[in-house]
Every structure is written in structure tokens, then in C-alpha cells.
Amino acid sequence: MKITRLVAWPVRLPLSIPYTIAYETVSEVTNVFVRLETDGAFAGCGCAAPDKAVTGETAESVLTALAEIAEPAARGAEPLRPVRVLEAVREPLAKQPAARAALDIALHDLVAKTLDVSLWKLLGGFRDRMKTSITIGIMSPAETVEEARRHIAQGFRVLKLKGGRSVDEDVEKVLAVRAAVGPGIELRFDANQGYSIEDCLRFVDEVRAAKLELVEQPCSSSEPDLLGRITARVSLPIMADESLMSLRDAFRLARRDLVDMVNIKLMKVGGIAEALQINAVARAAGLEAMVGCMDEAALGIAAGLHFALSRPNVVYADLDGHLDLIGDPTADAVRLKNGVLYPAPGPGLGIDIAP
């Protein structure tokens, strides 16, 4: 069996509830879907969620990369030899991780479908479900508390609060949410690079009573030493997000002991194959890992979930990027119940799509 062609197409996905983080407000995204067709009975599906601010890509640049580089590399390849295809595009697409991720996800889906096994089992099958956090963007303290209560009523038990614009307001929101939801709910905080060292030290000290689980990417990714200085001086675990874009970044963060935890996002690192290597570095360094996401259709979320389910040290999930997307053609790729994500049944990622 051979891959005969790669088909890619964009889908605009408005958000039912726009959200704000430290550096932007988002009301609509475009995902690019990929289908690897073969001369046999199977097809592999993937998607890209480009983000100009994070991955440096747009839907247009992803479509061009897939048509001009990924499609020629994949055409004629054997589905059970995906690494050959991924290596062929590694250098040409070095600066387009979401495009690489789309191809990588489709290849992994195709391999698992060819072998008639669910992808999470093929990758290792450590667990069969995973609790996810749900994110609350930057809004007023009163609105944040209202959102927190709404999510708890929906069954979520882990909340991630966004901040980074005002330490005073962030402290007020964190303490207010803890008072509203009680001690049994896990709280995480993401500053999205918005803090200085002094900001972070003050924030951690003033929210001590809220018992946060972790603080994600408090300072700029352009100054990695700042992360290390914060990690060494605060009592809460510090997680790298925007500072982790590649396997080399993972090695640097681990070797220099700059963080306690890492957030692995398939769209940032280039897909499942790269995520597995990054996770191996994290495990060797004793770092806990979280699988995160961009504003991704459920197909991208499913790929992240299958990766997370396969590895024991991926102990946290922040896979909520699909929940507010309107018109997602892959909504059935994951199932959510009381804040817990389950993979779709069936081989591969459990879904098939076409333009």
C-alpha cells in the first residue's frame, strides 16, 4: 500500500465565547485539515492550528507548506514507514511546526488504522482517559468567579486562570475563585509571559493561601534565564510553555534546571513523534509534563490526548481548545464527561474526514 496524495483544506471556526490572554483577544481561528489518501482501504487524517504569535504561521503558509513540501514527500511513501516522510520535511519545515504537526498526526493516524488499533494503544496505552483543565481568559474578578462556577457546574475539577496584565487584579481573581470553588478544585495560573521576576515573586507570595497547583510561563520566552531565576526562588512549580518549541529547547531547559514542568503542545513542537522525544528528555530530567493545545479542532485535541494517554509522566492535560469552536467538522474525535476526556472508539484517532 502506498500514499497516493495529500489533500489539505482550511476551515474557519468562530468561537462561541471570545477570550483574552496577556497579549491578544481571540474571536475566530482557522484550522487546516489534512487527509492522506492511499491506494488501499485506509486514509490518515490530521490538522494544523497555526498561530502567528506562537508558531509564526498562518493558514495560508500552512497550506503552501503542505502543498509544496509535505505532499511531494508523502506521495508514494509506505504508510508503515512514517519516519522517512517526517525526516524528509524536518529541515524544509523547521520553522513551520503546525504544518509538520498536521502531516505527523495524519501519518500516525494512518499507521494505526492500517494496523487496526487505536493510536493511544499503539503508542503505549498507559491509561485510557484523562482529566483536563478548562481555561478562563482574562476578565474582571466577578466575571472570572462566575465563569469558574459555571465550569464547576459542568463537571470540571481543574481550572486554569489566565493573567499577566496586572498582578493586583490577578491576585484578586485567584483568591476570589478559590473562595468561590472551595479547596477540592485544582487551580492553575498562566501569565503568558506577562510578568517580570518581581511581579512573579509578589504574585506567588500573595496567592499562597489559594494553593495553586502551578504557574505557567510567567516571563518572556526570549529570556530563558529569567525562568530559572524564578524557579529557584518560588515555592510553586514553574512550567515552561512558550519557552518550549523544540527538542533542543527541552534539552536546554532540562540541562540547566530552568523549570519544574513542561507543557508539550503538538502544534508548537511539530507533532507526536517530536512530542515523544521531548517527553523522554523531560522524564530523564525528572520533569513532569502536561499536554497542552492551541485553539484546535477536536481532531488536534484527540492527537494530543492519544499522546498523553500513552505516557506515564504526562500527568496533566490542558486540552480544552476545541470546546468553544463553532462548526468543528471533527467534534466526535474526543468525548468529554465531567471534565474527563476519552478517545473516540475505533482504529487510529477514530475519525475520518474529507473536504
DSSP state at residue 62: H
Count CA atoms within 13 Å of residue 300 on its CB side: 35
Show the cell assigned to 180.
468561590
Q: Is 95 a catalytic residue?
A: no
pLDDT per residue, tens digit, the chain (355 aa), is 999 999 999 999 999 887 777 666 788 999 999 999 999 999 999 999 999 989 999 999 999 999 999 999 999 999 999 999 999 999 999 999 999 999 999 999 999 999 999 999 999 999 999 999 999 999 999 999 999 999 999 999 999 999 999 999 999 999 999 999 999 999 999 999 999 999 999 999 999 999 999 999 999 998 888 999 999 999 999 999 999 999 999 999 999 999 999 999 999 999 999 999 999 999 999 999 999 999 999 999 999 999 999 999 999 999 999 999 999 999 999 999 999 999 999 999 999 999 9
- Sheet of strand 25-38: strand arrangement: 3-20, 25-38, 43-48
Q: What is the pTM of this model?
A: 0.95
- Sheet of strand 288-291: strand arrangement: 134-136, 158-162, 186-190, 214-216, 238-240, 261-264, 288-291, 314-317
Contact 118, 348 (CB under 8 A): yes
User: Which of 104, 147, 241, 260 does the annotation list as catalytic?
Assistant: 241
**What pLDDT is stored for residue 27 in this prediction?**
84
Do the domains at 3-116 and 121-343 have one common CATH topology?
no
Say how far apart CA 201 and CA 115 lie, in whole Å: 51
Contact 278, 264 (CB under 8 A): yes
User: Which of 113, 160, 265, 268 does the annotation list as catalytic?
Assistant: 265
Domain boundaries, the chain: 3-116, 121-343
Residue 175 three-state SS: helix
Phi-psi region of 270 (alpha: psi -120 to 50; beta: other; left: phi over 0): left
Amino acid at 140: S
Torsion of CA 220, 222, 223, 227, to 10 degrees: 50
Residue 202 three-state SS: helix
Q: Is 190 a catalytic residue?
A: yes
Residue 266: C-alpha distances to residues 45, 114, 142, 294, 348 (Å): 15, 22, 34, 9, 17
User: Which of 51, 170, 216, 296 does the annotation list as catalytic?
Assistant: 216
CATH fold label, 3-116: Enolase-like; domain 1 (3.30.390)
Closest alpha carbon to 48 in 294, 247, 243: 294
Q: Is 241 a catalytic residue?
A: yes
1-22 residues labelled b (16+ CB within 10 A) or e (exposed): eebeebbbebbebeeeeebebb
Show the cell assigned to 53.
504569535
Contact 130, 306 (CB under 8 A): no
Residue 95's CB is within 10 A of a number of other CB atoms, namely 14
> Which one is the CATH code of 121-343: 3.30.565.10, 3.20.20.120, 3.40.605.10, 3.40.50.300?
3.20.20.120
Q: Is 116 a catalytic residue?
A: no
Contact 30, 59 (CB under 8 A): yes
User: Which of 160, 162, 173, 268 does the annotation list as catalytic?
Assistant: 162
Say how far apart CA 323 and CA 132 lie, in whole Å: 12
